[in-house]
Structure 1
Amino acid sequence: MIRIGTLNVGSMTGKSREVAEMMNTRRVDILCVQETRWRGNKAKEIGGGWKLLYSGADENSRSGVGIIVNSELKEKVVEVKRSCSRIMKVKLMLSEEVLNVISAYAPQAGCDEEEKSMFWRELDEVLTSISEEERVVLGGDLNGHIGTDRRVISRIHGGLGMGRGTKKAKAS
């Protein structure tokens, strides 16, 4: 059994060892990370046999995603596809199946609509490019919201959810 997790790290800078220790403690084999804030598209050993494959923006950005694999599984990686600084996929060839792990970080409420639309189009392209015979795991911070009512939690909820919001109860 492979244990897979996801974590918005806020920044990977100075956290590599801490993340690797957390993965050891929780026995996580693969971890999708978001908001790495690292530039470029690279792979890096982060200690303890863990390997981080990441995709970052070229400019100063809060985005960036990565996938960390343990020492056993890093030998089974057969493909790394970095779509953008918000979406990447790693394909692993396991003994009896192919596993695609996607790390995604959706634009936040303050981002413009074009950036959000582009993200969802790119994620759809990645997902539809995978054969139906292969397994897919999507780990990410999708910045999702439910409902459109944001009166109670306006600082947290961007009001971009789907459906009708809840109505306030009338005072008796």
Structure 2
Amino acid sequence: MAPMAVVVNPGLDRSGKGRELADMMERRKVDILCVQETRWKGSKARSIRAGFKLFYYGVDSKRNGVGVVLKEEFVRNVLEVKRVSDRVMSLKVEIEEVMLNVVSGYAPQVVCELEEKERFWSELDEVMENIPTGERVVIGVDFNGHVGEGNAGDEEVMGKFGKEP
């Protein structure tokens, strides 16, 4: 069965959120989970509970940080981990003879400096451009987007729900 992947921004810290995530993944049968705002400093992989492993990268324990949580059965299939910055990382996993690239990212918020925003987009572009044609991609990025006032012209990609005028 193909793995299920989702993205979440849990604000992971050392207060047990990792175990909560693993419990949620197990209950909802999620095999791959992209996480942002992990707030864990370092470039590591660690078990967050029996059966789940977190690959993460963070520079500051107070902000940012990205990661990917894998169900243990997929960990041995990880071929490559690219930790680009505390806002962008990717994992290449071989699942049932399919190369799956999982990209986790955390875009700067609206109030951030233009330079930080441009750096994020440049890093994300570089990761995406280096994924070989024919390999599958899952993009689990918190784009920090804001819902607009409508979907005129974008009905095929965006629902009708937005800000009230």
TM-score band w.r.t. shorter chain: 0.7 to 0.9
Identity of aligned residues (%): 49
Change in CA separation of 1:167 and 1:23 when aligned onto 2, cut-off 3 Å:
closer
Task: Give the distance between the partners of 1:35 and 1:106, measured in 2 at CA.
Answer: 10
Task: Give the distance between the partners of 2:93 and 2:66, measured in 1 at CA.
Answer: 18
Query: For 1:15-26, what aligned pairs fall within 5 Å after superposition?
Result: 15-26=17-28
Unpaired stretches in structure 2, ≥5 consecutive residues: 150-162
Q: TM-score, normalised by structure 1?
A: 0.82
How far did residue 147 of structure 1 move? Answer: 4.3
Unpaired stretches in structure 1, ≥5 consecutive residues: 149-165
1:27 to 4, 13, 29: 29
Question: May I ask how many residue pairs the two structures share in their alignment?
Answer: 150
The structure 1 segments of at least 4 consecutive aligned residues displaced by more than 2 Å after TM superposition are: 145-148
Q: TM-score, normalised by structure 2?
A: 0.85
Task: Give the distance between the partners of 1:135 and 1:12, measured in 2 at CA.
Answer: 30
Deviations 1:51-86 (A, max 9, x none): 0000101x4541000000001101110100000000
Match of 1:53 in 2: 55
Task: Give the distance between the partners of 1:78 and 1:120, measured in 2 at CA.
Answer: 25
CA RMSD of aligned residues (A): 1.7
Task: Give the distance between the partners of 2:147 and 2:114, measured in 1 at CA.
Answer: 18
